[in-house]
Structure 1
Amino acid sequence: MRVAVLGCGTMGTVHAKSYAKLKEVELVGVCDVEKDDADRLAAASGTRAYNRFEDLLNEGRPDVVSICLPTPLHFTYTVMAAEAGVHVICEKPVSSTAEEAEMMDVICRSNKVQLLVAHVGRFFPAYADAARQIVAGVIGKPGAAHARRIGPHPGLIKNWYNNERDSGGVIMDLMIHDIDYLRSVLGEVRSVYAQRRTLPHLDYAWVTLRFEQGAIANLEGMWGYPGPFQTAIEFAGDQGIVHINSEESKSVMIRQVGAATEPILTTGKDERGTRSSIVSRKSPEFETAYDRELSHFIQSIQSGSQPEVTFQDACIASKIARAALESAHSGQPVNMLGFEVKGD
């Protein structure tokens, strides 16, 4: 399939480099109003640079476009692509408002093109493996989880992040990864409670999610961390825990209550050869999470099959993030049943 990338910033660069490696696609162009950014990325990924989206659509004739623009622009350019008969892979969050998201869905459906939202969290190997282990019952019934996602403030590089109306801050733009992932593992969210503190170039949030099936998750997100970007997540069940930390050499570790004489995974075992600790050590990735995500989306478009992350999943993740913002503002928990965002 012929693919293109709109937006040549951080995420546009990631998408273009992934497409350049995928055998099932041809990268026919990248586009950005900033000519230097478009030229740089085109040279790096072996394709043509455009400065107007209309020219990319008319001359590049893509089948699929990745929209890697600031969130307030997702609606406009998704509609333009759909009306040109081009499938859309849109970076998260799906849109600035629930109303826009609904219109994007309607317009894409009416033009018979697919709209996929890039929640990449589910495609990282450690996260996917943890989800599989939990579904398989390795740690029993999960009762609690803790997720942490922190890094430098993106507003130091791109000013639009500093406008909360545009970016949604750390909750909507960064923590939404963990919101979507935790919901995919633990089910529907019943209530949301959030606390948040902001200073110039600092945005910190702590969000508690209560799930319909009884589990509770605490999510920590921070823009402005004076160190490298890092993530961690832990699930605790009545038979053990699953722990992931990007800063540890042991990227996946599962400890179970009680030991057996053989390992339950072939990826590794502890020094005694028992099943009390299973370790998958870090190694260079031949295929990134973004490679996996975009390849999966392209295959979904080609086959017409349902993607791992559905449009409905993306809308629900955005709704939970908006509920967290409302809770942080009001100081009160938000019941997700019947929750509607003011102004949407």
Structure 2
Amino acid sequence: MKVAVLGCGGLGHVHARIYAGMEEVSLTAVCDIDAGRADRLAEELGVAAYADFRDMLEEAEFDVISIAVPSWLHHAYAVQAARAGKHVICEKPIALTAEDARDMIDVCEANGVRLFIGHVVRFFPDYVHLKQTLDNGAIGKPGVAHASRKGGHPAATHPWYADEAKSGGVIVDLMIHDLDFLRWSFGEVARVYGMVRNEELLEYALVTLEFESGAVANVEAYWGYPGQFQTKAELAGSGGIVQTSSLDSSSVRVHRRESASENGPFVAIPGSPSFHSPYELELKHFIACIRGEAEPAVTAQDALRALEIALAAKQSSQTGHPVQLAPAAQGYHGGDHR
């Protein structure tokens, strides 16, 4: 299978190098409006370089396009690629508006191509372990979750992040990772309440999710945090807690309620640190899905729903009122591209 990469920045480099190392994939071309950046990556990997996406569509041979460009460009390039008959793997968020996201889904379906969105947290071993621990009943009935994701402001080096019309802001760009993970873990979200503080090179958001199951989650995202980038997540149920922190070397811990056979209130069971790149796991999975060898671990519909939750949180932060989400069964019913 032949693959091309659009965008030769940080994640574009990641995608291209992963594809170049895949035995079942042939990376044929890279593209970036910064011709020098495209040339350097192309020379490193021994592929063709383009500065114009239309030229790459017309001249390069590829079946799949990986889109790793700024968020506000996702819709336009995904639609162009789909109409050219290319399968689309796109970084999150799927788009900046629900309308654009639905259009991407519809155009891909109409042109018989697959659409995958890079909600990579679903491929982080620690987060997979959290979900598995919840699913196997180790912590009982889920009740409360906490998640946080914080780091420096990306606008310090990439100014477009400061323009909410291009990045979507800290909720749509950063918090959406945890919004998707929590929906994956706890089910559909019924109501959202959000607060945002936004100053120069500082944007902090605190969002409360109420799930249809009755569970509740508090989610933090912080651009402009003065310390190192870090993530934390904790799922609590009727029988215990499972938690992970990127600051711990062995980061998944399960704490169960005291039983007659235990000497203390909690027993810690550390998980294994991740040894494989989640991006590699993700891209290999998407390629396997395109080949018909696997079912998607995360669908375009999941990405749309995560965006809808993020947009509801933004709306709540602007109005000061909770936002009720339409039940998933009453929502959008575009194809799932299987």
Q: Structure 2 length as normaliser, TM-score? A: 0.92
Q: What letter is aligned with 2:18?
A: S
Structure 2 residue 281 is the aligned partner of structure 1 residue 282: no
Q: CA deviation at 1:34?
A: 0.2
**Cα distance in 1 for residues equivalent to 2:98 and 2:323:** 17
CA distance in 2, matches of 1:64, 1:291: 16
Aligned to 1:267: none
Q: Which residue of 2 is the match for residue 255 of structure 1?
A: 255
Other structure's SS at 2:143 match: strand
Q: Distance in 1 between matches of 2:44 and 2:226?
A: 30
Name the SS of the counterpart of 1:228 in structure 2. Answer: coil
Q: Judging changes above 3 Å, is the alpha-carbon distance between structure 1 residues 253 and 44 closer, same or farther for their aligned structure 2 residues?
A: farther
1:224-248 per-residue CA deviation (whole Å, 9 max, x = no partner) reads 1112211110011111110100011
What is the CA-CA distance between 1:27 and the residue it aligns to?
Answer: 1.0
Cα separation, 1, equivalents of 2:45 and 2:215: 44
Partners in 1 of 2:5 and 2:187 — Cα distance?
33
Partners of 1:36 and 1:155 lie apart in 2 by 22
Write the distance in 2 (CA, Å) between the matches of 1:250 and 1:82: 42
Q: Where does residue 215 of structure 1 map in the other structure?
A: 215
- Could you tell me which residue of structure 2 aligns to residue 201 of structure 1? 201
Aligned to 2:305: 316
Q: Which residue of 2 aligns with 1:83?
A: 83
Letter paired with 1:276: V
Q: Is the 8 A contact 1:67 1:78 kept in 2?
A: yes
Whole-angstrom distance in 1 between the partners of 2:160 and 2:296: 30
Structure 1: 4+ residue segments shifted above 6 A: none
| One-letter identity of the residue aligned with 1:282 | P
In the alignment, the residues of structure 1 paired with residue 182 and residue 327 of structure 2 have an alpha-carbon distance, to the nearest angstrom, of 21
2:319 equivalent to 1:330: yes
2:247 partner SS = coil
Deviations 1:256-294 (A, max 9, x none): 1135879xxxxxxxxx9xx922112436x2x20000001
1:36, 1:258 → 2: CA distance?
Answer: 61
Instruction: Quote the Cα distance in structure 2 between the aligned partners of 1:88 and 1:20.
Output: 18
CA contact (8 A) 2:285 2:294 kept: no
Count the aligned residue pairs.
328
Deviates more, 1:248-257 or 1:46-55: 46-55
Q: Per-residue CA shift, 1:68-120, capped at 9, x if unaligned? A: 11122111111111111110001111112211122211211111101111111
Equivalent positions of 1:177-196 (< 5 A) are 177-196=177-196
CA contact (8 A) 1:20 1:46 kept: no
Identity %: 49
| Cα pair 1:15 1:66 within 8 Å, conserved | yes
- Is contact 1:65-1:88 (8 Å) kept? yes
**Is the aligned partner of 1:69 residue 2:60?**
no
**Paired residues of 1:126 and 1:252 also in contact (CA < 8 A):** yes
Name stretches of at least 5 consecutive residues in structure 1 with no aligned partner: 263-271
**Counterpart Cα distance in 1 of 2:46 and 2:201:** 35
For residues 6 and 107 of structure 1, the distance between their equivalents in structure 2, rounded to whole angstroms, comes to 19
CA RMSD of aligned residues (A): 2.1
Q: Alignment partner of 2:179: what SS?
A: helix
Matched-pair contact (CA < 8 Å) for 1:259–1:276: no
Which digits, 9 at most, give the CA deviation of each residue in 1:125-174, with x for residues without a partner? 00001101100000111110000100111111111111111111100000
